[in-house]
Amino acid sequence: MTEAPRRRKDAAATKDALLQAASELFSERGFSATTVRDVATRAGVNQALLFRYFGSKSELFASVLAHNSARMVTEVPAEELPRRLLSDLLSAEERNGEHPIVAMLRSWSDERAADLLRDELGARYTARLAELSEAEDAELRADLVLAWMFGIGMVRSVLGKSPLAEADPEQITRYVNRATAALLAGTDLSDDQ
């Protein structure tokens, strides 16, 4: 929001400012509701520079996604990931909703954004979550966990639906952790009901 007074001509600082502004706005409004004019204005920069440095709105979105989620996935150990994902989602509103996951949640509807999301999720999150299970279908179980996280983020942070939106994060965490632990460690259910 508050833009530091940058040096008058500094490409790197300008790029950073654009990236930061884009990260905030994509989280707040999603991909399609964020305009390049909004991003440039918040960055305190002429919008033509956005195209000079990033080429297009889609490429800007990809840059934001890569930049933000790379940081998270590499710095959090696999066994911490579900808990961390959830706690990030549950506390998103305290940070004005600015978070790569929330940016994702608000951006499915655009097809270009969805393509980027699919790759980003597969490469980073599912792969990491699947490490937690030794089952044959570990990746499917990981996807189910991921889907639940996203659904919760969606209903709580994007929709703001009660009572989930107002519920105690601790309580939600207890319910979800119990279920996901069972799912990831659970026995194979292929043949029983």
Binding residues for its own copies (CB under 8 A)? 30-33, 105-111, 114, 117-118, 121-122, 126, 137, 139-141, 143-144, 146-152, 154-156, 158-164, 167, 171-172, 174-176, 178-179, 182-183, 186, 189-190, 192-193
Task: Indicate which of its own copies, DNA, none lies near residue 70 (CB less than 5 to 8 Å, by partner kind).
Answer: none
Using CB under 7 A as the binding rule, whether residue 11 contacts DNA is answered as yes
Residue 72 sits at the vertex; the CA angle it makes with 69 and 39, to the nearest 5 degrees, is: 45
Among 46, 96, 109, 177, binds DNA (CB under 7 A): 46
In the stretch 158-177, what mask flags binding to DNA with x, by CB under 7 A?
Answer: --------------------
> Does residue 57 interact with DNA by CB under 7 A?
yes
6 binds DNA (CB under 7 A): yes
Judged on CB neighbours under 10 Å (0-12, 13-18, 19+), 106 is buried
Which residue in this structure is represented by tokens 């002429």? 46
Query: Which one, 8 or 187, has the nearer CB to DNA?
Result: 8
Query: Can you say how many angstroms the Cα of residue 79 is from the centroid of all Cα atoms in its chain?
Result: 18
User: Which of these segments, 19-27, 47-55, 132-140, 180-188, binds DNA (CB under 7 A)?
Assistant: 47-55
| Beta-carbon-side half-sphere exposure of residue 156 (alpha carbons within 13 Å) | 25
Contact indicator for 37, 49 with CB cutoff of 8 Å: no
* Cα–Cα distance measured from residue 164 to residue 81, given in angstroms and rounded to the nearest whole number: 21
9 vs 170, beta carbon nearer DNA: 9
> Are 114 and 161 spatial neighbours (Cβ–Cβ below 8 Å)?
no
Please say whether the beta carbons of 89 and 106 come within 8 A.
no
The span from the CA of 14 to the CA of 17, in Å, is 5
Smallest separation (angstroms) from DNA to the CB of 54: 8
Q: Which parts of this chain interact with DNA (CB under 7 A)?
A: 6, 8-11, 13-14, 34-37, 45-49, 51-52, 56-58
